Structure 1
Amino acid sequence: MSLFLALLVAAAPPTTPASTLPAGTQALSADHEERWIPFEFTPGNQIRFVMSLEGRPVSAILDTGVSYSVLARRYTEANRLHVRGQAKADVIGGSVPVGWVKTRALAIGGLRREGGGLAVADLPATATGSATAVDLLVGRDLTADYALDIDYVQRRFRFLRSGRVPFTGTSSPLTIAPDRLVYVSSVVLGGAELRPMVVDTGDGSAITLSTAGWATARMPSRATTTTVSFGLAGPVVSEVAIVPQLVVGRTIARNVEVRVEASGGFSDAIGVAGRIGSGFLQNYRVLLDPTAGQMLLSANAGADQPPLRSTSGLLLGVADDRLKVLHVMRGGPAAAAGWRDGDLICRVDGAAITPAYPTSPLARWSAGTPGRSVTLRLCNGTERRLTLAHFY
């Protein structure tokens, strides 16, 4: 679990026919294997990087859970781009209006596309968990013809020709769903195979299942709590538990965080069993090659270590000089102490909150050692003490 929250960015195909969006012409450069793209993690656990659109740098998230790459509406307005068409797309949290814009050229590392277009939708900053929104979600339409080599340890990725295998690992099936137009695979949990599972690098959580998928797995009774995630259409509250083992292809993963969506959630809406997100994938070096039909996973050091668990029961977002309580987890110390969504924290054990908080050692307090007592000063000047504890 993130010390803050997981962000979910996935979208089913818009209701407007795909033929509305011109495809353009894509090609890899001669030196594409050397053209690594450096990235950083957003506070929401996503891959954020810089690419080029019409010769200008733009910020982007690598998102294999998006059918068509999405340009931020605010970017089109700032650059006076003509947005065409009107449609709706199912996204996590509901649905959003979508338009289209023509493009001349874009480039990501060794990949370049001439012509074509991008979907257009609102991309709020909450979609990354930070105060700064991104300009673009890079989705299936740009990536699926190639092998994506994602090196989470070195924080870099690159495009390779399909069929290229740059490292050894365990193989899992991977295809593009013909109706949903996203990357899909399967998992085995509790002896049950669950499919299709969207392989979604834009989802900051580890494994997410529909209610039906969780019921099919028939897991023994496990301690659960609640958590919140944010999609393009708003917040989603789900159950969360830690399972001892989960299998993806030939990869046996241990101590995996699993979220369970409420009935009628996004997985139900698009007819899938759930999602494999970056919270799981980041434990491996990953090769995603749907044209070759495989996902390759090579475990990083500590891949099977228990995931970070909240011991405070507070899921927090950061905005400059304060923390905002986004969710109070059921059964946790914060719930017992009467904390509420929306409470604002300006100091932790006397230390002020700064924009650097997400990557600072101070941020570790909310998943700190059980029994530790933390003094939290709210932004209205009052102080509260919170004793950390295991609760799920």
Structure 2
Amino acid sequence: MRRALLTLVPLLAVLTVSAREPTVPTPAISPEARDRGVYHLATDAEARWVPFDLTPGNQIRFTMQLDGRKVTAILDTGVSYTLLAKASPAVDTAKLVAGGSAAAIGGSVALGWMPTRSLALGGLARTGGGVAVASLPAIATGSAAAVDLLVGADLLAGYALDIDYAAHRFRLLRSGRMPFKGETAPLRISTQRTVYESAIMLGGRRLAPIVVDTGDGSSITVTAAGWHAANLKALRTTTAIAFGLAGPTVSGLAIVPYLRVGALVARETEVRIEPAGGFSQTIGTAGRIGSGFLQSYRVLLDPGARHMILRRGPRAYRPPLRSTSGLLIGIENDRLKVLHVMRGGPAAASWKDGDMICMIDGAAVPRDYATNSIAAWSAGAPGRVVSLGLCDGSTRALTLRNFY
């Protein structure tokens, strides 16, 4: 049971789009000029499930092969080009060339480009081609250690992607396959951004395009303009923080009574509201559907067939966990770091970003905190008083309450 996933660690968002790259001082290879490689899907691909775990940031983490080397990866349909971490041992600096830059949550990031000999993922193999290269901090997954690779739309979009969140496994199938029944929503690959895109209905307004982003750990994100158009002023809102490749960003946060994704009606859904000029607006989209939403379903993403299929899982009937502490925190070994103090919450008056917590109700923060039952305090029952020991030796009492 993942008690800590939503109660303690902020749902982290990672998304890059590199459909267009500016001129850089050293020679760069444009996306159009890159060797795309040769792809082969095995005849027994349907049997080749890839097991995964969910990071503390809600992303799908697994292992695969890059140039014969085992690497850790995240499945990221919101990334245009598969991206290798600059610090990964799989980087061959002798082959690395300049690659321009890309838009990312939090700003812009510099890119490199590295040709590859082979990639292997489940039943899919690619020979030739290459990967983008950029800094990929551990905070982007909420984990202590960074992953090597973000697997993007360039590898995935030619196939149907079947994600069985309940069983923690996924597989790649030939486009047009229908391995299970569910509710249907539109899906395509954007010609402008080269990522997976759909649409949602929020407050009776259709918002599109919406990026379908398995690499974004949050649930639903919309632009400020989209939220305004939906006219949901009666809902209480607070603030939250997300971390992308280019750094942190603060957004609004609300729980909406219902929204639609194609034929699917989802109730009590967490929605993040980006400020004006935020990432979604910058790249010309209306927002994102993230893994925090998708994990309540079995999901088939098949842009070739122009649809995605969502079949409700056990999580689809659970209301979202709401913070009653007003603290969004990250884990640093045996202590907790306050990453954001939520607007209007019980912590707003006396807490600040960067505060370090070492004790909870007299107990030391355990190293397995993310999966330990002690982590439930942050979304505990309203009225409960929690004693939090700061790492400087002081103690603060925090009375939990509902505030959004």
Is TM-score (shorter-chain normalized) higher than 0.5? yes
Q: Cα deviations across residues 302-353 of structure 1 (Å, max 9, x unaligned)? A: 41322000000000000111100000001111113x0110000111112222
The residue that corresponds to 1:102 in the other structure is 115
Q: In the alignment, does 2:367 pair up with 1:362?
A: no
User: Which of 258, 263, 277 is matched with 2:271 structurally?
Assistant: 258
Q: Which residue of structure 1 aligns with residue 299 of structure 2?
A: 286
Deviation at 1:30, TM superposition (A): 2.1
**In the alignment, residue 227 of structure 2 is paired with which amino acid?**
W
Work out the number of aligned pairs and report it.
Answer: 391
Residue deviations 1:212-259 (CA, integer Å, cap 9, x gap): 111111224110000000011011100000000000000000000110
Q: TM-score, normalised by structure 1?
A: 0.97
Note if 1:5 corresponds to 2:10. yes
The 8 Å contact of residues 254 and 305 in structure 1, kept in 2 or not, is answered as no
The verdict on how the C-alpha distance between 1:81 and 1:108 changes in structure 2, with shifts beyond 3 A counting, is farther
Contact 1:323–1:353 at 8 Å: present in 2 too?
yes
In terms of mean alpha carbon deviation, does 177-186 or 352-361 score higher?
352-361
Q: Which residue of 2 aligns with 1:160?
A: 173
Contact 1:21 1:118 in 2 (8 A): no
| Cα pair 1:6 1:204 within 8 Å, conserved | yes
Shift of 1:8: 1.0
Report how far residue 382 of structure 1 moved: 1.1
Output the CA distance in 2 between the equivalents of 1:60 and 1:295. 23
Shift of 1:76: 5.7
Residue 398 of structure 2 is aligned to residue 386 of structure 1: yes
Structure 2: how far apart are the matches of 1:76 and 1:180? 29
Shift of 1:190: 0.9
Matches within 5 A, 1:1-392: 1-16=6-21, 17-75=30-88, 79-336=92-349, 338-392=350-404
- Distance in 2 between residues matched to 1:257 and 1:335, nearest whole Å: 21
Deviation at 1:188, TM superposition (A): 0.4
**Aligned residue type for 1:68:** Y
Residue identity matched to 1:181:
T
DSSP-derived class of the 1:44 partner: coil
On the 8 A contact 1:253/1:304 being kept in 2, the answer is no
Q: TM-score, normalised by structure 2?
A: 0.95
Asked whether the 8 Å contact 1:14–1:88 carries over to 2, the reply is: no
AA aligned opposite 2:383? G
- Distance, in Å, in 2 between the alignment partners of 1:70 and 1:235 is 19
Task: Mark the CA change 1:60 to 1:343 in structure 2 (over 3 Å): closer, same or farther.
Answer: same
Measure how far apart 1:362 and its partner are. Answer: 1.1
CA contact under 8 A between 1:320 and 1:355: conserved in structure 2? yes
Which one-letter code corresponds to 1:60 in the other structure?
Answer: A
Match of 1:309, as an amino acid? R
C-alpha distance in 1, partners of 2:221/2:75? 19
Matched-pair contact (CA < 8 Å) for 1:14–1:90: no
The one-letter code sitting in structure 1 at the alignment partner of 2:35 is: P
**Contact 2:99-2:132 within 8 A present in 1 as well:** no
Cα deviation for residue 294 of structure 1 reads: 0.4
Preserved contact between residue 258 and residue 265 of structure 2 (Cα < 8 Å): yes
8 Å contact kept, 1:333–1:389: yes
1: CA distance between counterparts of 2:181 and 2:68? 36
SS at match of 2:377: helix
Q: Which runs of 5+ in 1 are unaligned?
A: none
- Alpha-carbon RMSD: 1.2
Q: Is the 8 A contact 2:19 2:192 kept in 1?
A: no
How high is the sequence identity, in percent, across the aligned residues?
58
Q: Distance in 1 between matches of 2:313 and 2:178?
A: 17
Alpha-carbon offset, residue 20 of structure 1: 3.4
Check whether the contact 2:108–2:246 (CA below 8 A) recurs between aligned residues.
Answer: yes
Cα distance, 1:2–1:376 mapped onto 2, change above 3 Å: closer
Q: 1:321 to 1:296 in 2, by over 3 A?
A: same
Structure 2 portions without partners, runs of 5+: 1-5, 22-29
